Structure 1
């Protein structure tokens, strides 16, 4: 273990990897700060550019973008009352109130520190819990992997947002798309319609870029055109960032118990697949209010009300990577895209990843530690400059994202077919967004669908078509029970919500 950490530290402190962390943090802050652009989209854009990199450098870049983009959503939340990313929704409650009081500089400083603090705590827990869980995966056979994949697929209902039924339909579409190509066991083509290019199925990265990045580019360009101008704020609308950005040490000491508690909440929630950053931020906010002696100050510009969601949502980043790296189950939509980054470098989550590629994994852990420190330093030093990012017009931003999407899709295999796949999924994603369908379930189904199918076929061969194999093995039985509970919970919640509305 000591040798792995020493090797990781030496690996990270090379010019290439330090530049990767720096560029990742800057790119993550830029994309996260702009309202409408998410961490998922930022990762989807950057993944193709890691293809030619060393696997460790590629993952280090992705980790830095992930951490920084989650933090940066607070910039527009604090200055404009508009969350840059969904994870910053709770930050608005006290962040914007501080801006109205002329304390925007202080709010930005506290946000950067709390975000970095939460990220560091989650990395420490990630580096201790993930290897242990990965070792447990050695006990898994085809039935357990099938049950695990089914459990992952049931998260679809949780990722659906307000309407689990739309999430279910999106997931079903993803499973259908995952069947295109060669049958993994029998080896005959399915749904290829005689096309040789569809024999290998849909390449994951162009699909990710299309769904998350190109679809957002189309949305930005159409929205700016329909509004006959820019939907972005004018420079005059953004308050001047003045005053002390760096808080005093005594103030940080006073806020540290709250940040510590919120970081643990965020990491714990991040480990649970399908929950995500938004609930983690609000849960941490509620807990901070419950423990506070100044409850009446929450919602009026409270320091505690600002740092709690910021520490929590950044702690989710490390937490969501725990089930991803150890078991191959994405904790949220962003980590599902991160899984795509692992797969294009030929890295498979689980014990094999830690045994055969331990140097890469521990380099990622240490780089996340450095990236969160840089989030604090760059967030404080560049707060005034980053506020100017908010005035970028959608009509300019949309085409830039689309060009990056085209270049990224082509760069994977130097194949024009990937560009067409990306554009097709971009249009699909645009239409789904327009009618309120979530995109994350499609990606999750595309990744986990083939795993479930292969493991199911292998299990049937082992048991000679005896379905009881999934219930006579304790691990697979427990996972399937959890999968059923995970699947039906959002639907029960939706039914109760509708009942409450009728009663009201």
Structure 2
């Protein structure tokens, strides 16, 4: 039954000239919006909603879904080439993708990102197709304590990102968590840490912070050091060929654990309301760092393929997983699916448990479009990346100017206020100083993303439990996750301090005789 409906969804796209044309346009828009700094998939979907008013609901929702999937994928291109995440979902890809580019391994980095993205997207969509009802039931059984525990575990996992120094990572993480509290209280709508500035009532916008910490920081570093052109690779002078951009399937054999585990993990993160592909990438990178061999784990952040496979497989799977609560519960799984939910309502369709039966054609056309998009992106990648390779060979001053121009446009276009430009420049300077003193900027972003998700879950859980913190340990799933988070955070601290070694040495030296 499912297979037959899925075949019908493919036929609805491939045999209908209008749907096929809209699919191609949506794929192109999604690719470029994901790769251009600041023009993320959410913004593009918002801009396209008025155009969908005159469309059939099936065509309209299909178009918005493909834009979302393509934008999540394409953010890795500029992240690898220029250390400028084209979309928030590609934040973690910069940590290893850009160092590989600087070592002259641009082709390998892009091959890895392409294959991992497609694999994660396909796995996430397959899980979406066959297990949507089961996953929706699972999502309804999870409550605020479980949501909070999941986020706490994610925060604990970042302790070895970047510099590998737990204390430094925790410091930058704390800054991000504090920034996430700025604005209106999520439950009582009271102003917090706004210091009388009305512009801070809506909080610290994520896009200007990301562009400042990555793009502006990199530009400042290039100007300061007088280094090579951004994204320049000495080996990369012969141009791209199709064989360079369609990775061999031996990657499945080389990274079986990362691809499989992170694709499933990303999908599960995606089904949590409000999490989205960005959170999937954060969890994918940090969790992937824990399941690879120690020799590889220590190289994360210096330019290893595993550091690209982990976030790229997870974020694309999470993008598919975000459709589970949207279609089955009518609850958006991410910011972009919240906009897509608005499009559903505008077309007179209310997502929920009955959608699979009452709107089967629409649902399975979306499923088919997501599968087709992930496969097509492997083929469409060659001409798309070729455009960026030509940009890379511009003179360095012109390239720096173009990156700053796109960064400024992207920051301003988010809310159309000058304050975001000053915010971008401020965090560009902060990021430059952090990198000079070996403080990783990734934990700051993670704190800013996950903090606003953790706080409402914590407070709602406490309200329901009448202020009893023990509720987080009384529920089995949240208890296991919190205990795991405590172990993940404190074990590296204990190892770094050498306490265990000192105790063992004192207990067993001199034939087991303990000295006073």
Taking structure 1 as the reference length, what is the TM-score of the superposition? 0.65
Return closer, same or farther for 1:213/1:137 CA change in 2, 3 Å cut-off. same
Match of 2:427 among 421, 425, 428: 425
The 10-residue stretch of structure 1 (383-392 or 414-423) with the greater mean CA deviation from structure 2: 383-392
Match of 1:213 among 206, 211, 214: 211
Q: Distance in 1 between matches of 2:261 and 2:188?
A: 41
Q: Distance in 1 between matches of 2:291 and 2:310?
A: 9
The match for 2:274 is: none
Q: Aligned ranges for residues 11-50 of structure 1 at < 5 Å?
A: 13=19, 15-25=21-31, 42=37, 47-50=42-45
Q: Is the 8 A contact 1:109 1:379 kept in 2?
A: no
Match of 1:465 among 467, 476, 489: 467
Q: Is the 8 A contact 1:166 1:437 kept in 2?
A: yes
Return closer, same or farther for 1:412/1:489 CA change in 2, 3 Å cut-off. same
Q: Distance in 1 between matches of 2:443 and 2:198?
A: 27
Query: Which runs of no fewer than 5 residues in structure 2 stay unpaired?
Result: 50-60, 83-92, 267-279, 296-303, 327-332, 343-349, 506-516
The match for 1:440 is: 442
Match of 1:225 among 223, 226, 231: 223
Q: Distance in 2 between matches of 1:464 and 1:286?
A: 44
Describe the superposition over 1:415-452 as per-residue Cα deviations: whole angstroms up to 9, x where unpaired. Answer: 33344434433433343344333333333333332343
SS in 1 for 2:402: helix
Q: Distance in 2 between matches of 1:90 and 1:434?
A: 16
How many residues align? The count is: 436
Q: Is the 8 A contact 1:269 1:316 kept in 2?
A: yes
The match for 2:70 is: 64
Return closer, same or farther for 1:212/1:488 CA change in 2, 3 Å cut-off. same
Match of 2:203 among 201, 204, 212: 201
Q: Distance in 2 between matches of 1:25 and 1:364?
A: 18
The match for 1:318 is: 316
The match for 1:290 is: none
Return closer, same or farther for 1:462/1:219 CA change in 2, 3 Å cut-off. closer
Match of 1:266 among 241, 259, 265: 259
Q: Distance in 2 between matches of 1:235 and 1:144?
A: 45
Return closer, same or farther for 1:399/1:120 CA change in 2, 3 Å cut-off. same
Return closer, same or farther for 1:181/1:489 CA change in 2, 3 Å cut-off. same
Q: Is the 8 A contact 2:176 2:447 kept in 1?
A: yes
1:66 Cα deviation after fit: 3.1
Q: Distance in 2 between matches of 1:208 and 1:491?
A: 30
Q: Distance in 1 between matches of 2:324 and 2:238?
A: 45
Describe the superposition over 1:45-65 as per-residue Cα deviations: whole angstroms up to 9, x where unpaired. Answer: 565444323386555334323
Q: Is the 8 A contact 1:60 1:367 kept in 2?
A: yes
Q: Aligned ranges for residues 92-131 of structure 1 at < 5 Å?
A: 114=115, 118-119=119-120, 121-127=122-128, 128=130
Q: Distance in 2 between matches of 1:159 and 1:307?
A: 15
Q: Distance in 1 between matches of 2:258 and 2:10?
A: 28
Q: Is the 8 A contact 2:288 2:310 kept in 1?
A: yes
The match for 2:144 is: 142
Return closer, same or farther for 1:181/1:198 CA change in 2, 3 Å cut-off. same
SS in 2 for 1:239: coil
Describe the superposition over 1:200-254 as per-residue Cα deviations: whole angstroms up to 9, x where unpaired. Answer: 332xxxx332232233333343344345575358899643259x8549x9xx9xx
Match of 1:153 among 152, 155, 175: 155
Describe the superposition over 1:337-392 as per-residue Cα deviations: whole angstroms up to 9, x where unpaired. Answer: x9554567678xxxx98759989997776455334333332345677766444323
The 10-residue stretch of structure 1 (110-119 or 485-494) with the greater mean CA deviation from structure 2: 110-119
Return closer, same or farther for 1:174/1:384 CA change in 2, 3 Å cut-off. closer
Describe the superposition over 1:278-302 as per-residue Cα deviations: whole angstroms up to 9, x where unpaired. Answer: 9959988999xxxxxxxxxxxxxxx
The match for 2:510 is: none
Q: Is the 8 A contact 1:44 1:213 kept in 2?
A: no
Q: Distance in 2 between matches of 1:156 and 1:437?
A: 13
Return closer, same or farther for 1:197/1:73 CA change in 2, 3 Å cut-off. closer
Match of 1:53 among 48, 52, 55: 48
1:138 Cα deviation after fit: 0.6
Q: Distance in 1 between matches of 2:403 and 2:499?
A: 38
Return closer, same or farther for 1:284/1:90 CA change in 2, 3 Å cut-off. farther
The match for 2:55 is: none
Q: Is the 8 A contact 1:183 1:190 kept in 2?
A: yes
CA RMSD of aligned residues (A): 5.3
Describe the superposition over 1:463-499 as per-residue Cα deviations: whole angstroms up to 9, x where unpaired. Answer: 3322222222223222322322333354456557998
Q: Distance in 2 between matches of 1:460 and 1:181?
A: 22
The match for 1:303 is: none
Query: Which runs of no fewer than 5 residues in structure 1 stay unpaired?
Result: 32-41, 77-83, 288-305, 329-337
The 10-residue stretch of structure 1 (50-59 or 444-453) with the greater mean CA deviation from structure 2: 50-59
Return closer, same or farther for 1:433/1:95 CA change in 2, 3 Å cut-off. closer
Q: Is the 8 A contact 1:151 1:482 kept in 2?
A: yes
Return closer, same or farther for 1:381/1:86 CA change in 2, 3 Å cut-off. same
Q: Is the 8 A contact 1:21 1:61 kept in 2?
A: yes
SS in 2 for 1:148: helix
